[in-house]
Chains A and B, each alone.
Chain A
Amino acid sequence: MKSHSRTSSRALFLAIAYSVLAVWTLLAIFPFFWTFLISIKEVVDAFALPPVWVFKPTLVAYQTLWIEEGFSKYLINSAIVTLGTVTISITVGCFAGYGLARYNRAAGFWILFAAFVFRALPRLTFLLPFYYLARLTGLHDTQLLLILVLVAINQPFTIWMLRSFFQEIPDSLEESAMVDGCSRFQAFWYVIVPIMGPGIVTASIFSMLLAYNEFLIPLILTATNAVTMPVAISQFGAEDLRYWSISAAGAISIAIPMVIIVLYLQKFLIKGLTAGAVKG
């Protein structure tokens, strides 16, 4: 009798649990689904009330976006800036993360603590001087400047995360390599980095999301040449209905590559989400 009541309360719990999860699924996905519908509707249907549910899909908005509006230029900028940022910040961050994981004196602690404080500061703290100096030196509106600034903004988070991954690898590995005659750098490069693969992928995903999604930095540091996709899409005509469809097409175009890449690599993302907190 007792076990029967336990089973039925479990069934009730599961019913409630799955209802809650279903509601949150709807909340999480519906805005994107709706945006997708706007992007494949004719402009007259896109904002018709009551909403038009049965319609003939059209790719006109995508065509306008990619051909007339030249959206591929922004895609190329976003791709260059993202790749550049990930490559540099992970390379620099690996060296630092390894050094910080293996060195137990005050200097290491102060670098970590300073990085942590910098992580807390708003981006505008650094951006105002960059804006002014970049305008003076002609670096304004270049992909190089965006990469440099994004690498810097990303560095505190990257070194903390990579340090925690390097700490999981026992010192004995590189010590035995060094006994066999490797230099510290060789031991790092040939023994430690190869087994850091998953950690490097994880840190790269976060670095990639940061660079690809960033809005404020390119908004301030670009004008026409180096504009990235999030800034471009935010500047499509605001109240002109025709532009809403194009913006929606842009929104979907920006979202799709990242969603595919990150969902494919999601086990690395989840590993990274826990790394920082569990180990402090």
Chain B
Amino acid sequence: MKPREFWAFVSPSVVVMTVLMVFPLFTTIYLSFFNFNFGVAPKFIGFLNYTRILEDSRFWSAMQFTLFYMAVSIPIQILLGFGLALILNEITALKRFFISLYLVPYIVTPVVGTLAISWLFKDRGFITWLLSNIGVNIQWYADATAARGLLIGYGIWGAVPFIMLMLYAGLQAMPSDPIEAAIMDGATWWQRVRFVMIPYLRPIFIFIGMVNIMDAYRLFDSVAVMTQGGPGNATATIMYYTYSVAFQEQLLGRASASIVLAVIVIITLLYPFLRQTYFDIVGKK
């Protein structure tokens, strides 16, 4: 393809991304140096927004909870998803039935899933009542640990279907020769998983890890709907904190500084993946 043709094909997309992503990104960085609210003329204040954010204990607790959320939920959801994928790969009867049902939490609007789960755990909710019958009394929304656990549990519940399907499809696409060779050599089931399947699925695991880091880091919907960051500030994530600064306190400049800091953190976390992607595409050319 000639360069002229290439640019003709990609230009609509490049224009969309430049106008609606590159431009706003730089605007956000620019605004983070201003005292900037509605009805007030923007005033340059240097790094003051950054100082204010870094001095705000809510920022640190939000960052801490976000990273804690990622560290706990991502390994568990990958393990569960992989376990279910291995099982689905072994069975024949009812396979499609299970896959269809497991897709439901992935398809349904996150706000709807959040509401559905949140009703079960209200003080008059079904699960709260079930637990109280066996002597476990938890007020899920009043206790910081319980509320955090609830959000993490919801996150795992919502993410497992995607992981399971990705790994299941990977297992299905796997050539049968290495598995048969392993069986001939007397490998146990676990040895086949550990030394044949996991290495084969490695690119999919990396992809899943990356997407899960991106998604978990921008956790907002379930916090906004289920706990509103409470009790106190216990379940505020970095996105929820930034949202509150921007739209409850109406400090757009300071919120911009918060988002710039948040972007620096996510790019750092994703650096190994970005590097890998960079080399993958270059390597293919």
Contact = CB atoms under 8 A, between A and B. Distances in A.
Given A108-B6, A259-B107, A28 B112 contact: no
A116 B21 contact: no
Contacts, number: 272
B82 interface: no
Main SS at interface, chain A? helix
Interface in B1-53: 1, 3, 5-10, 12-14, 16-17, 19-21, 23-25, 27-28, 31, 38
A153 B20 CA distance: 8
B90 A17 contact: yes
Interface in A9-32: 13-14, 17-18, 20-21, 24-25, 27-29, 31-32
Interface string A242-257: 0010011001001100
Interface of B is mostly: helix
B190 interface: no
Interface residues of A, number: 101
Nearest to A262: B107
A219 B27 CA distance: 21
B101 A25 contact: yes
A129 B109 contact: no
Nearest to B12: A92
A92 B13 contact: yes
A213 B116 contact: no
B195 interface: no
Given A27-B157, A120-B270, A273-B162, A14 B91 contact: yes
A35 interface: yes
Given A20-B87, A99-B1, A49 B173 contact: no
B62 interface: no
A5 to B, nearest CB: 14
Nearest to B13: A96
Given A99-B6, A116-B277, A31 B87 contact: no
B207 interface: yes
B230 interface: no
B124 A104 contact: no
Contacts of A135: 38
Contact of A251 (B104, B115, B224, B247): B115
Interface residues of B, number: 97
A117 to B, nearest CB: 7
A86 interface: no
Which A-B residue pairs are the 6 nearest by beta carbons? A99-B9, A152-B20, A96-B13, A277-B207, A31-B116, A129-B27
Interface of B: 1, 3, 5-10, 12-14, 16-17, 19-21, 23-25, 27-28, 31, 38, 83-84, 87-88, 90-91, 94, 98-105, 107-113, 115-117, 119-120, 122, 124-126, 129, 157, 160-162, 165-166, 169-170, 173, 203-204, 207-208, 214, 217-218, 220-221, 224-225, 239, 242-243, 246-247, 252, 255-256, 259, 262-263, 266-267, 270, 274, 277-278, 280-282, 284-285
Interface of A: 13-14, 17-18, 20-21, 24-25, 27-29, 31-32, 34-35, 38, 47, 49-51, 91-93, 95-96, 98-100, 102-109, 111-132, 135, 148-149, 151-153, 155-156, 159, 184-185, 188, 209, 212-213, 215-216, 219-220, 229-231, 233-234, 244, 247-248, 251, 254-255, 258-259, 262-263, 266, 269-270, 273-274, 276-278, 280
